[in-house]
Amino acid sequence: MDESMKPIKDKQLAIDLISPTNMTVGRISFDPGSNKNGFYKGQFEIPPFPDFGTWTIKAKLGGKLDTYAIAPIDVREFVLPTFGVEISTGREYILPNHTKIDVTVSAKYVYGKPVDGSAGLEINIRKKGDVSDPKRVLTIGRKPLNGSADFEVPIAKLLQSFGGQFPADAVLELSSTVYESATGKEESGADDSVMFVNCPFKFDLSRSKTTYREGFYYYIQIKMLHANGQPAGRKLFNLTIDGGSPNQHLTNEDGHYLAAHIQPENQNLKRMKIKVYDPAFENCAHELVLEQYTGERQIVVEKVEKEGASFIQANTDINIKQADKYSGILILITARGKIVQTKYFPPFKTPSFKLEQDVMDKLELIPTEAMVRPGQTSKLTVKGPSGMWVGFNVIDKALLLLKNTNVLREDKIFNEMEAHDLGCGAGGGKNTRRNIQSKHAFIFL
């Protein structure tokens, strides 16, 4: 896809299979125009006696400048795991005043029964962008495990390997090996979701305007994140304008916040400073400096909340005082390349209309049987919007216990798209994923 998330159809595409010794052992080529929807598929055959290690799939797009993407795959002797290991901590960050962290190691067979055995825990700290140093590993001895085992990790002892200094922005690496008591079989799990931080939250104001316009409401758009980058949904934060008294606000379930915070009557036609921060960590505040926008012939489109409903509102100062030269505002809403709604507002009429509640189209999977044994066949019915492309990823549940991060899932696809997301203007904080889920709705004036 291009940066507008549209399928690329007029370029040469080559997909290579590369061995760990950097030898290309297979290639599939697609000519320009050979595909209509942007989805390409091919099949490689791995040699009978392959090199074990990390192989690479490389997709290369031809043109004036080479554009390519790679995906690693592990090739090794296959041994299907019988149980999986998970590590949880109950927190997403470690602050300088924390003295310990509780860790739980859980192990279950693929059919849900808890594993009886023992578990050990290894801990390390990795600075951002660095590789783990095995010399700094802290090992905690084995503990009995009946489905789960609890460990208490002293932070002070862990930081001794860092000279006692608090490693801000470093990652806590946890790994555990579980031994099954009946057979002695072992499986491992790992977790690196916990970070050492001075502040538990961070703020992104990149989608807020850096200017305010005389006579228009200024809407600030805030994205509040946990230290590990995950959205901080339903969290309180403080907001101040020009050093005034702080006002407390709440993010939505996606960690976004949108509201008008500079009314037209309060605009003093000078530089303003907005500051947002967690109530307990004002020293980690994020600031945004606003300048007055002095241009003429302005059009501003905003999503606003009125009486619990969402509205699209457009304002302009184009020839307001000369009604004979001002023809009004026409708003078009398109979905999937088709105009689904139009609104025309003549001069002097408030250009604001309500957005109807949208019911998301969802896929529904209806299996004939809940359990299918080897060698059996079963019917699976898929219900969803007409014309939608549907792909299947059907694998043995035990394969997911191999901890293969390259398993193709919905989140992996959306994360790749998010990396190229250009975002949208002031609105509900929508990104590509949310726009797709709500039928690709865009507004044009």
Beta sheet of 13-18, edge-to-edge order: 24-30, 13-18, 53-61, 67-75
By percentage, how much of the chain surpasses pLDDT 90? 30
341-390 residue pLDDT tens: 787 877 665 555 554 444 344 678 888 887 777 788 888 888 877 777 77
Place of tokens 């297979």: 26
CATH superfamily of 200-295: Immunoglobulins (2.60.40.10)
Strand order of the β-sheet with 256-262 is 201-204, 218-226, 256-262
Q: Evaluate if residue 85 carries a pLDDT over 90.
A: yes
**What pLDDT, in 10s, does the model give residues 150-188?**
999 999 888 887 778 899 989 999 999 999 998 989 999
Distance of alpha carbon 360 from alpha carbon 357, whole angstroms? 9
Q: Look-up: residue for tokens 């791995």?
A: 46
CB neighbours of residue 371 within 10 Å = 7
pLDDT at 164: 83
Q: Can 83-196 and 200-295 be said to share one CATH topology? A: yes
Q: Tell me, what's the pLDDT at 352?
A: 56
Residue with the larger pLDDT of the pair 315 and 97: 97
- Label residue 420 by pLDDT band (50, 70, 90): low
Residue 412 pLDDT: 61
Query: Which of the four pLDDT bands, split at 50, 70 and 90, describes residue 98?
Result: very high
Provide the whole-model pTM. 0.58
Name residues whose C-beta falls within 8 Å of residue 119's C-beta, 6 or more positions apart in sequence.
Answer: 85, 105, 107, 142, 143, 145, 149, 176, 177, 178, 179
Segments making up each domain of the chain, as ranges = 13-75, 83-196, 200-295, 364-444
What distance lies between CA 397 and its chain's CA centroid?
Answer: 24
- Report domain 83-196's class: mainly beta
Q: Is the pLDDT of residue 427 over 60?
A: no
Tens of pLDDT, residues 194-247: 999 999 999 999 888 888 877 677 888 899 998 888 889 999 999 998 888 999
**What pLDDT sits at residue 426?**
47
